[in-house]
Structure 1
Amino acid sequence: MKKQSLAYFLDDLWAKGFKLTDEDVQFIYFGKNYANAPDWKVVVALQVTLRFQHAFDGSFYLSVLDLIGEEGVQTKKQAEDLLARKGFQLTYQ
């Protein structure tokens, strides 16, 4: 499975009509640098944030990013499993 770059993911959101402000995008990159996270973890954190908050929420985003960063998560599947254990189901059943 190809890992999606953060820039491509943000462009895709924009194309689908989900408009983030410049401040939101700056905060997303701040969080990426703060957590020293790869793009795929940032994309997962954004997906969780937008799915459960229905808007960008910086503190929620950082919490999710920290969660999947501190637990030694190495793959998207591990991230999804961890989030599911915490009550955030990402896949449709």
Structure 2
Amino acid sequence: MEKSLRTVEDYLHYLQSKGFRIREDAVGFIYFGKHYTNATDELTNAAIELTLKAQKEFDGSFYISLLETFTSNKIKTRHEAIQFVKEKQLIAI
């Protein structure tokens, strides 16, 4: 299944099936950030993915910061998000 086509719920289940343990309070924070920034599922999933890659665990403040950066820079897709963090050298991926 293409990552960009998953809902946030589907993506969280996918991560859990791969061994990532995301606590219940983190899940609540993920949905809070999604609604706070009015981000799409695709952009929310990209922020989760990049947070986990950069921090090796879920870091709520890093995640929110990424989502805010993406939405303020009019980033719409996972591909654009990855390109943006590479170009700005926000995280090493």
User: Does TM-score exceed 0.5, indicating one fold?
Assistant: yes
Structure 2: gaps (5+ residues) = none
Structure 1: gaps (5+ residues) = none
The answer as to 2:62 corresponding to 1:60 is: yes
Length-normalised TM-score, structure 2: 0.88
Letter in 2 for 1:72: K
Residue 33 of structure 1 is matched in structure 2 by: 35
Within a 5 Å distance, the mapping from 1:1-93 to structure 2 comes to 3-87=5-89, 88-90=91-93
Letter in 2 for 1:14: Q
CA shift for structure 1 position 89: 4.8
Give structure 1 regions of 4+ aligned residues with deviation exceeding 4 angstroms.
Answer: none
Length-normalised TM-score, structure 1: 0.88
Identical amino acids, percent of aligned pairs: 34
Letter in 2 for 1:78: E
Q: Number of matched residues?
A: 90
Letter in 1 for 2:33: G
RMSD: 1.4
Distance in 2 separating the partners of 1:78 and 1:14: 25
Highest relative contact order (Cα 8 Å, sep 6+), 1 or 2?
A: 2
Letter in 2 for 1:49: T
CA shift for structure 1 position 79: 1.7
